[in-house]
A and B are shown apart, each in its own frame.
Chain A
Amino acid sequence: EDQVTQSPEALRLQEGESSSLNCSYTVSGLRGLFWYRQDPGKGPEFLFTLYSAGEEKEKERLKATLTKKESFLHITAPKPEDSATYLCAGESGGSNYKLTFGKGTLLTVNP
């Protein structure tokens, strides 16, 4: 059974205090590892897709990295508007296109 585990469950940062969120996965034949952002009461919003170990992608203050067992979302000098729940998801390979989500990390950035 595919599993995706995110840590920590919640993270509180001061504005400008950089940190990382972790996503550990065991997904059969991983086709892609996704990061989404979800604001309260809204649907998840796509951030990144990573395909192979060693890959990195950046967008503004966010950088996502991938190893064979984990993915990290690095947040550099966060701002209050970065506060949200960050979700990690793995898509299985082969003919099975199932997407398994982690439970998310609730990030709060205080001014």
Chain B
Amino acid sequence: EAQVTQNPRYLITVTGKKLTVTCSQNMNHEYMSWYRQDPGLGLRQIYYSMNVEVTDKGDVPEGYKVSRKEKRNFPLILESPSPNQTSLYFCASSPSLGDRYSYEQYFGPGTRLTVT
């Protein structure tokens, strides 16, 4: 089954304890992205990656790191989590980037993170 998977789905952690949320897709997609979703603010892009070894900042990259060493994986790293990073996180992937046309993104099931 074609899908985007995220782990863990739920995580409660404490301030300052480094964590990684994994994201993997089995559709051979070039483009991957991370979003956070907060009430009243909607979905905001954190980082995106156009292909392996190429990443770029979205609208809210502060406090996050990413890496794209393999095409299928795009982990989100919080080096020193803070309570304001409590949120619902989504990973997404897209078939490719066209000069003219956009391609829809396929979203994972989400990771609910609580930082105390």
In the complex, how many residues of chain B place their beta carbon closer than 8 angstroms to a beta carbon of chain A?
A: 28
Residues of B within 8 A of A51 (CB): 100-102
Residues of B within 8 A of A32 (CB): 101-102
Cβ B45 vs Cβ A100 within 8 A: yes
Set A34, A41, A103, A104: member contacting B104, Cβ < 8 A: A34
Cβ B109 vs Cβ A42 within 8 A: yes
Closest to A103 in B: B42
A104 to B45 Cα, complex, angstroms: 15
Q: Does B74 contact A (CB under 8 A)?
A: no
Closest to B44 in A: A101
| CB proximity of A71 to chain B, nearest CB, Å | 14
Cβ A49 vs Cβ B110 within 8 A: no
Q: Does A87 contact B (CB under 8 A)?
A: yes
A91 to B31 Cα, complex, angstroms: 13
A99-B109 contact, Cβ under 8 Å, with A44-B90, A104-B42: no
Residues of A within 8 A of B43 (CB): 44, 87, 89, 101
Cβ A101 vs Cβ B104 within 8 A: no
A45 to B110 Cα, complex, angstroms: 12
| CB proximity of A87 to chain B, nearest CB, Å | 7
Chain A 17-51, CB-CB to B under 8 Å as 1, else 0, gives 00000000000000110100000011111100101
Closest to A88 in B: B42
Closest to A89 in B: B43
| CB proximity of B22 to chain A, nearest CB, Å | 15
Complex interface residues of chain B between 66 and 116 (CB less than 8 A to chain A): 90, 92, 97, 100-110
| CB proximity of A4 to chain B, nearest CB, Å | 9
Cβ A31 vs Cβ B104 within 8 A: no
| CB proximity of B58 to chain A, nearest CB, Å | 6
Most chain B CB atoms below 10 A, which of A41, A97, A99: A99
Q: Does A98 contact B (CB under 8 A)?
A: yes
| CB proximity of B108 to chain A, nearest CB, Å | 6
Residues of B within 8 A of A100 (CB): 45, 59
Which 8 A-B pairs give the minimum distances between C-beta atoms? A32-B102, A43-B107, A103-B42, A46-B104, A101-B43, A91-B102, A31-B102, A44-B107
